[in-house]
Structure 1
Amino acid sequence: MRLIISILSFLFLSATALAVEIKPFLKPLNSTSGWIIGNGLWNITIGDVYGKKLFYDGRDLIGDAVGHYSGYDGESNFVWTSASIYEETPEYLDVVFSATEIDLHWIIYPDLAGAYQYIENKALPTLAVLRTLFRLDNTTFTHGRTNIKDEALPLFSDILASTKVQDETWQRADGTYITKYDWSDFIRNLDFHGVYGSEFGSWYIRPGRDYFNGNHLKQELTVHRESATGDAVELNVVHGSHFQVNSSATFPAGKIWGPWLWYLNSGSRDDAASRAVQEFASWPYSWLNDSDYQSRGSVSGRLILSDGRPAANASVFLGDNSSNKSTLDQGEHYYYAGTTDSQGSFDIEDVRTGTYGFYAWSDGGSIANVSTTFTRNDIAVQQGDETALGLLTWETQARKAIFQIGELDHKSLGFRNGGAPYQHALVAQSPANLTYTIGESNASDWYFGQSALGAWTVLFDLTAADVPSNTSASASAVLSLSLAGYSQTVSLDVSINSQVLTSLTSTTLPSDPGLYRSGTTAGEWRFLEFDIDAGVLTAGTNSLVFEVTRTTLWRGFMWDSILLEWKE
């Protein structure tokens, strides 16, 4: 009898959807089988965990796929204990699905194909991943799109015919790879992403981004082909950990992730792009009836280096106040990423009221030799006010350079294969042994990642005039190693003129998964400095050696910059 009632309810809603307009609705099926929500353009049946039977333009877009669901850390999926009308206005209907841990809101307009969504924390545990997603019919949705990748999803049959080599990664018979990590992206750069085919498209448009964890280099999964069933997967990871040392966080009650727009159309990327422009221009959304969300101010200022240069095109970040976490690993509250202009000025608008830490670091260019970072805490933002920080002096390391390989920008850009499209096992193309000669070699002769057993040697000449007197304290030097990422388990001995400076291993250097999860630009930045005693550097040819003494396939060091300076 329950099945008959559900079928009749669905047939009624599908038939009435043919009318010119149906007001947004929430319709309980019965006490145990869930609810139907939608409007005259679409509707979806949602049970205690999964949303199924997504009808749009006369087609069920889910079919045999898993459907819509939300959860955290692996497969801990939320169980909906109730659904109710949270707010009804002349413009929209706000339907809230409640679980023990969260409320998930669907804001449905009568003429919108899709819905706005947002999550509000009630009792989430400490977690690393929080997401919503759609798993859709694999014959209807054949392609995926992000701002950097737009192509056919891999065929399910191709996955089944290949050999699994690590998590969600398969090797074809021809030696190439299939992995969901090739569809990753820097999420603060995303305009919209989703899956589409010749007749239908399903898209996530996420303006604002202040609810995401991490800084400018925060990367996450977006879309992929599900390896067990072949479903087309459209991911909405709003707190993630797939490229980081540690993103576990404990959230305050009431924290909101979103709102974002889930959008349906005919598969047109141009239409989705146009809608994305509209949504980004409308953020922060005026319709969200939440006083904390609407309470915002701005932060402005100008950064000048202590040597007088403007901190041009530096990365700036408003994050946790007085935090001992990296800016990439921060994630409990709200976060704002920006860039200074050519004069070092910045203006960060629409910042939620609260107290923040302000951080800045080199993004290359005219300040590519600055290894220090800037931090100021206790930045108070009040509603409607501009927090003007004025002129901020950023102390540099104030040393005389001997040489530098690569710009300090927390990224592998400029090196061979650095910044290439996401692809598995690219580090395997890096040589085991390499010689780099200062004054003759270019940054592109250095590789973005080092993994194989062997030694990379940097040769550099010093004249007697270059080397301060060994009786002078200034004869000592500092070697700065800036790593765009490090993936265990690989060990590296660093020596200069046969004197060992350090051994970098997994026991002392935290690991991020960037290098073995298709990352080519960054994982998580690490910065290390080592003193070189007076007398070690001499007139003539000197050598700096990076020797891999232990390796694991596809793991290793992702380089940002190597900087050798006289200590002054």
Structure 2
Amino acid sequence: MRSSLLVGCFAAAKLSFAKGPFLQQTGSTQWVIGNDLWNVTQGSVYATNLQYQGSDAVKNASGHYAGYDGESNFRYTSASIVSNSSEFIDISFSSSFGDLHWVIYPELAGAYQYFVNKALPDISIFRTLWRLDPDRFTNGYTTTKDAPLPGWSLYANATEIQDETFQITDGSYVTKYDFANYVRERDFVGIYGDKSGSWYIHASNEYQPGNHLSQTLTVHRESATGDAVQLNVVQDTSHFRVGIKTPQPVGKIWGPWLWYLNDGSVEDARKRAAKERSVWPYPFLKDNAYHSRGNVKGKLVLSDKRPAGGAAVFLGDVNTSIRPLVQGSNYYYTAYADESGEFNFKHVRSGNYGLYAWSNGGVLGDVYTNFTTSIVGVTDGRTNNLRTLTWDVPKGRRQIFQVGDFDKKALGFTYGGAPNQHGLTEKVPANMTFVVGESKVSDWYYASAQLGSWDVVFSTKRPALNATALLTVSLAGYSQSTGLTIYLNGNTTIGAINKDVVTSDPAVYRSGTTSGEWHLLQYEIRASNLRDGKNVLSFKTDRYTKWRGILWDSIILEWVV
């Protein structure tokens, strides 16, 4: 294999590219990179003229670029080969914020990419992306959606009702948020057509922020130009949650991930993703900290002696008040415990972590407390066995009723976990009666979003007149300005859920059906306010904002004995 770096201005001449992986400079801030299978022309911001399968895969689209927080795109001032082996070359494009690397192998259609931070400010979003020829790349693929991208003609007479969300002439909606999904559940994502496919494959998500519930955008149709958009959002502490900006350490690496080209075969991309996972961490990255790794294992048992089967377990930041969903300065790892409560993290970067856990439903469906501990140390080449960890749960509680499992998701309810779609809140009923012991969980709906009352009818016997009941309301998300008041037996006000009590997140109005930002609210109820026998707990929506609403997780009423 040969590689080359040719310096000079060749703007007026037809280039004759070297065999194998190469970097050729064609202007003061213009370069061509690639191999015998593909090549692309990189300018100061955009990479265009992607030659693959004998033609340009970009055409009139914008091409490839990278940046943070909206349209703060990187501007490259130089390029160099920083590693040149007999197997690959590592090309670095340098900007004032950091260096974007392309690792090119001779027989690989595509390249590995990674970004090394030099001077990024506090950010919420960092992404790379391709905007490609819409006639060639007609479909979008994620782990939860495989469908044609909306035709650009749909946007011509459509009304924009919110950011990148349009109501078309037949009354339905098109939005880029319908292709969003959970970051850590991804296998691969991309856009493809009959003859070509362009994919992003992440063998690991360690450089992505947040926990199991972190969501972000993937692919969509660009409404203004019609470009087929293939997003690679590797930092997101904003979409679908109460957003924050997080500081980024100098030297932090996002990636490597694989940008992969093929003939449009989803199955081929799936096989390639499996191959990438089998060889990660990648040996080509010349960074000692990247290769310094160890393992963490342990077992979670509840204080009532139950194993924490299926618990969501997260290695995150140490001694912080920042919520796991938006932790975003370091490296993060997720797992689920097995039925005995045991968990195992492999190939964890050396350093100190906080360990967090919470119910993922199932056998832990009645557990609304979280588990946290610090500091979990990881040392190169070693396994930190945390052994048995005790997860405290309340004592002396007797359940009166529960609607839905605690898992910080709306799963189990009607429309909960449905494919992302805008306007689904308009299909939920204004009024509903749920009879404990007769109604099914699916008789409840994923979100409250209409003026009216959802009534829970239940029976109980007071243990004593001076006893106390505890109402725990767990929300999977909340989008203002919906307001809800909780009443007992028609006239006793228990509490309220509104923008003065919880902070708004955009999940519901951005097509979310499963989760946004989690909230836990608790209310004490005197026994004297409850009747021996039949009672009615009403959740009355008294403020309505179209497409907004309360996303439900679980409701539980208990006697504290």
3-state DSSP of counterpart to 2:82: strand
Matched, 1:355 2:347: no
Q: How does 1:31-430 map to 2 (within 5 A)?
A: 31-32=28-29, 34-240=30-236, 241-398=238-395, 399-430=397-428
CA distance 1:447–1:410, change in 2 (3 Å): same
Q: Is the 8 A contact 1:142 1:232 kept in 2?
A: yes
Task: Give the conservation status (yes or no) of the 8 Å contact 2:295–2:382.
Answer: yes
Matched residue SS, 1:535: helix
SS of 2:143's equivalent?
Answer: coil
The reply to whether residue 544 of structure 1 matches residue 549 of structure 2 is no
Alignment length (residue pairs): 551
- TM-score normalised by structure 2 residue count: 0.96
Residue 516 (structure 1) aligns with: 509
Mark the runs of 5 or more structure 2 residues left unpaired by the alignment: 1-7
Q: Is 2:475 aligned against 1:483?
A: yes
Q: Any conservation in 1 of the 2:9–2:27 contact (CA below 8 Å)?
A: no
What is the CA distance between 1:247 and its match in structure 2?
Answer: 3.8
CA contact (8 A) 1:114 1:263 kept: yes
The offset of 1:102, in angstroms, is 1.3
Offset at residue 501 of structure 1 (A): 2.0
User: Compared with structure 1, are the counterparts of its residues 4 and 101 closer, same or farther at alpha carbon in structure 2 (3 Å cutoff)?
Assistant: closer
Contact 1:247 1:331 in 2 (8 A): no
User: What is the CA–CA distance in structure 2 between the aligned matches of 1:171 and 1:52, rounded to whole Å?
Assistant: 32
For the residues of structure 1 that align with 2:78 and 2:502, how far apart are their CA atoms? 46
SS of residue matched to 1:8? coil
Structure 1 match to 2:456: 458
Check whether the contact 1:300–1:386 (CA below 8 A) recurs between aligned residues.
yes
RMSD value, Cα: 1.3
CA distance in structure 2 between the aligned counterparts of 1:542 and 1:7, rounded to whole angstroms = 84
| Cα deviation 1:224-262 (Å, max 9, x = unaligned) | 000000000000000112111124211111111100000
Taking the aligned partners of 2:10 and 2:274, their CA distance within structure 1 comes to 42
Task: Give the structure 1 partner of residue 3 of structure 2.
Answer: none
Deviations along 1:141-191, one digit per CA (max 9) or x if unpaired, are 111111111111110011223221111111122221101100011111111
Structure-1 separation of matches of 2:496 and 2:268: 53
Q: Deviations over 1:512-558 (max 9, x none)?
A: 11100110011111111111123122202111111112121110100
Q: Which residue of structure 2 lines up, in the alignment, with residue 492 of structure 1? A: 484
Residue 9 of structure 1: CA displacement? 4.0
1:4: Cα distance to partner?
9.8
> Is the deviation greater in 402-411 or in 450-459?
450-459
Alignment of 1:1-16 (within 5 A): 5-6=10-11, 8-10=13-15, 12-13=16-17
User: Once structures 1 and 2 are overlaid, which stretch shifts more, 166-175 or 217-226?
Assistant: 166-175
Amino acid at match of 1:52: T
Provide Cα deviations, 1:480-536, integer angstroms capped at 9, x if missing partner: 111111111111111223221222221331111110011001111111111112312
Deviates more, 1:530-539 or 1:75-84: 530-539
Q: Is the CA contact 1:9–1:29 (under 8 Å) kept in the aligned structure 2?
A: no
> Using the alignment, how far apart are the partners of 2:425 and 2:394 within structure 1?
32
8 Å CA contact retained: 2:9, 2:28? no
Alpha-carbon separation, structure 1, partners of 2:151 and 2:314: 40
Structure 2 Cα separation of the partners of residues 455 and 329 of structure 1:
33
1:40 Cα deviation (Å)?
A: 0.9
C-alpha contact 2:9 2:26 (8 A) present in aligned 1: no
Structure 2 distance, partners of 1:125, 1:507, is: 31
Letter in 2 for 1:324: S
| C-alpha displacement of 1:567 | 1.3
CA distance in 1, matches of 2:205, 2:194: 30
Measured after TM superposition, the shift of residue 216 of structure 1 is: 0.7
User: Is contact 1:223-1:233 (8 Å) kept?
Assistant: yes
CA distances 1:333-392 after superposition (whole Å, capped 9, x unpaired)? 011010000100011111111111100100111110011111001111111111111111
Letter in 2 for 1:476: T
1:522-533 → structure 2 map (5 Å cutoff): 522-533=515-526
Structure 1 residue 25 corresponds to structure 2 residue 14: no
| Runs of at least 5 residues in structure 1 that lack an aligned partner in the other structure | 17-21
Deviation, 1:218, is 1.0
TM superposition shift of 1:23: 2.1
- CA–CA distance in 1 between the matches of 2:391 and 2:488? 31
Residues of 1 paired with 2:283 and 2:348: CA distance? 15
Find the aligned partners of 2:322 and 2:521 in 1 and give their Cα distance: 16
SS at match of 2:325: coil
Q: Report the Cα offset of residue 116 of structure 1.
A: 0.2
Which residue of the partner structure matches residue 463 of structure 2? 468
Aligned to 1:19: none
Q: 1:357–1:376: 8 Å Cα contact kept in structure 2? A: yes
- Asked if 1 retains the 8 angstrom alpha-carbon contact of 2:9 and 2:25, the reply is no
Give yes or no for contact 2:36–2:106 (8 Å, CA) kept in 1: yes
